[in-house]
Structure 1
């Protein structure tokens, strides 16, 4: 299939150069809501009909190469080979699937109170989702960092049907308790509220509950997944958890005992993350963690 694929990279500074030469510059001279991060840009792109200029469109941060460990050219080539895909993505944190049942388990340990704030927002926007019923996120669905490229139809369904209503609610009712709560500060290597971390997790939540989106993940071998680990502790957890989690994913057999074990391991991993990067710069941001 000869389809046009465009990945835009936001440029925030006057003399900022593209981090990946295959991407299209998207100049953001004025950023009225920097705390919204990519969420605000995706909504603006939809409103300005940028997603209608090509068959498939995405928005990747300048940290794509650093996080994803592949070139933009390689990812674009992958997308063009997926004839029946509605959306393609690459997950720069594939190791997390081995100690977190889904994005909300990890999100709650990383940002306590995130799930409640997200559910309040979803309820206020009348999206009808129950986050407690979110299914397992294995490699088919687990995605962080918004590295996805979707068809025009996917943009209509996901950005137009989910992200835009959230933006409209936040714009029209900023004093609503749900709107205020998602803007509470949380722990991260850069100052940030709950909102961008909620939005990031909505992608996996959406595609895992909408099978007809024809979602295709960039494939990674076990050895490649180990290469995404950022420290020895992550590599240790991956080695110890991999066989059991792979077997459970293969048989779609996640009992309560295994989910509880994953929750415990995820909590330990997250505490190690806080402690380890409180004293060391994180390789993706070169900053230490600040606790919200």
Structure 2
């Protein structure tokens, strides 16, 4: 079993350094300004993965992987070697998103309006009718930024799925195609296509729940800058462990309203308060109260949800 971690090189500044432990996959000749990492991943499969041993592992990571996760290539390899045999390992750079949203598409809709309708249209056009907004994405499926490492055998399943959806867009009429390549309201120029295809891995895992996944769980000295106090109180304690266990066991029958109640506990909003300073004060006070009562709240909710779902 070999673990092959590649870093995407898209300009002269982004090749993997010798000390990083990463290999370089050079895409400078094919920058793919519209399809970006998706096109690179398909080409990476054809060039590197397709003829490899079925049990070897591969990843195509962005140059920001270490910055976003705090992890090195050595950390990743050690994690895989200590938890051998899974089909895919997830290194989600936004771990709290699992507990802030029902799924990745809800988060996407907030940032890129109308992306859910566009994604459902894509699945329908591809002969794969599903409503992505109805999926619950747990810690065992959720990963952003294509930060994952998988067996060659997993790539053999996943890449045809990606190609099928990509082909659907490429062969659609010009008006529909334009929707996928229109601006997605991002901080830098980017189209809907990129943000849809970034989330396909997680959707594929939900649709194929026989695949063995293994998520990386951050320690207190990693990724703390992404979390506020109430999130840290939840994530770095038994509360998250209890919630993840319940979530993984019951997510197919979970009542969305009940989950929303829990998510609001972690992220009180007071949206009806129009005075900004007052709203901020109320949120701050409520978060402090919730930190104090979190331990009992989590267990009460889990018991309550379980009774309602059985």
TM range (shorter): 0.7 to 0.9
Distance 1:262 1:163 in 2: 33
**Conserved 8 A contact 1:56-1:152:** yes
Q: 2:15 corresponds to which residue?
A: 17
Q: 1:274 corresponds to which residue?
A: none
Distance 2:98 2:260 in 1: 14
Distance 1:88 1:30 in 2: 30
Q: 2:166 corresponds to which residue?
A: 167
The alpha carbon displacement at 1:152 in A equals 1.6
Q: 1:280 corresponds to which residue?
A: none
Q: 2:224 corresponds to which residue?
A: 227
Distance 1:205 1:224 in 2: 30
Structure 1: runs of 5 or more not aligned:
270-292
Distance 1:4 1:124 in 2: 38
Does the residue aligned with 2:202 lie in a helix, a strand or coil? helix
**Conserved 8 A contact 2:205-2:211:** yes
Q: 1:198 corresponds to which residue?
A: 196
**Conserved 8 A contact 2:183-2:190:** yes
Distance 1:69 1:181 in 2: 35
Larger displacement relative to structure 2 (44-53 or 246-255): 246-255
Distance 1:141 1:251 in 2: 15
Which structure has the higher relative contact order (CA within 8 Å, separation 6+)?
1
Equivalent of 2:179 in 174, 178, 181: 181
Distance 1:27 1:239 in 2: 38
Q: 2:120 corresponds to which residue?
A: 119
Structure 2: runs of 5 or more not aligned:
271-310
Distance 2:267 2:157 in 1: 32
Q: 1:250 corresponds to which residue?
A: 245
Quickly say closer, same or farther: Cα 1:5–1:249, change in 2 above 3 A: closer
Distance 1:60 1:108 in 2: 25
Q: How does 1:211-226 map to 2 (within 5 A)?
A: 211-221=209-219, 223=220
Q: Structure 1-normalised TM-score?
A: 0.77
Q: How does 1:1-292 map to 2 (within 5 A)?
A: 3-14=1-12, 16-18=14-16, 21-31=20-30, 33-48=32-47, 50-53=49-52, 55-135=56-136, 137-160=137-160, 162-173=161-172, 175=174, 177=176, 179-221=177-219, 223=220, 227-229=224-226, 234-236=227-229, 238=231, 248-252=243-247, 254-261=254-261
The alpha carbon displacement at 1:92 in A equals 0.6
The alpha carbon displacement at 1:85 in A equals 0.6
Aligned-residue Cα RMSD (Å) equals 2.9
Distance 1:155 1:24 in 2: 18
Quickly say closer, same or farther: Cα 1:94–1:228, change in 2 above 3 A: farther
Quickly say closer, same or farther: Cα 1:201–1:151, change in 2 above 3 A: same
- How many matched pairs? 260
Quickly say closer, same or farther: Cα 1:70–1:26, change in 2 above 3 A: same
Larger Rg: 2
1:229-286 per-residue CA deviation (whole Å, 9 max, x = no partner) reads 1xxxx515525876887655433464343333467677959xxxxxxxxxxxxxxxxx
Distance 1:244 1:16 in 2: 39
